Amino acid sequence: MRKEIFREIEIPNGTEARIDGNTIKIKGDVGEDLKKFGGDKIKIKTEGNKIIIGSKNATKKEKRIINTFAAHIKNMLKGVSEGFEYKLKVVYSHFPITVELHGKDVLIKNFLGEKVPRKMKILDGANVKVDKDFITVSSHSKELAGQTAANFERATRIASRDRRVFQDGIFITSKGGKEV
């Protein structure tokens, strides 16, 4: 059954949204974010201080897509006004792990006593601060901050050992202010 479905999203003060086709560019105090959305049947437009997403003849599938677009736009609006912050903790039992920043590269040294340091790259647009055993990843984009934090976890993944015994690594403790 097809029906008319529209979602309205309020644009907060100090934030500016520009729509060009299915591309949305949002500017705020923290930064600016650009995202291209697919879906030809779903229309995105601005009226006053609201972004309206919807379709006049939407199916269940298009309703799900509309809700997904709305969630992405809300995250973009929150990101350019407040930003997102992920906190990670370096955990080790025997071999002390050190994390060093070198521009956009990160070296994780002495993980499980390994001689060769593990390397990872910081995504463009994400900021990383290392304070001994605590790492803070912040960005205006939830996707960039989350992926950079996940890359830290993946860099210290242990493949061929029992995770119940070898619990060393870097783990996310807080996502966007919420404890994990």
Most confident of 34-38, 55-59, 148-152: 148-152
DSSP per-residue string spanning 43-85: EEEEETTEEEEEEEEE-HHHHHHHHHHHHHHHHHHHHHHT-EE
Q: Cα–Cα distance between 153 and 88 in angstroms, integer?
A: 9
Give the residue, 129 or 161, on which the prediction is more confident. Answer: 129
Which ranges in 21-174 belong to alpha helices (H)?
60-81, 142-155
Q: State the pLDDT at residue 2.
A: 87
Q: What is the pLDDT of residues 99-149, one digit of tens each?
A: 999 999 999 999 999 999 999 999 999 999 999 999 999 999 999 999 999
pLDDT for the residue 136: 96
> Which positions ≥6 away from 77 have C-beta within 8 Å?
9, 11, 12, 15, 17, 26, 28
Block residue for tokens 């984009």: 141
Contact 44, 90 (CB under 8 A): no
Residue 84 has pLDDT above 90, yes or no: yes
Q: Which pair of structure tokens corresponds to residue 28?
A: 């705020």
pTM of the model: 0.88
Question: In whole angstroms, how large is the CA radius of gyration of the chain?
Answer: 21
- All domains of the chain, ordered by start, with CATH? 3-81 (3.90.930.12), 84-179 (3.90.930.12)
Residue among 175, 178, 158 nearest 167 (CA): 158
* Cβ atoms within 10 Å of 4's Cβ, excluding its own: 9
**Quick one: angle between helices 60-81 and 142-155, nearest 10?**
90
Q: What is the percentage of the chain residues whose pLDDT exceeds 90?
A: 81
> How confident is residue 11, by pLDDT bands cut at 50, 70 and 90?
very high
Higher pLDDT, 39 or 143: 143
What is the predicted pLDDT for the residue at 38? Answer: 86
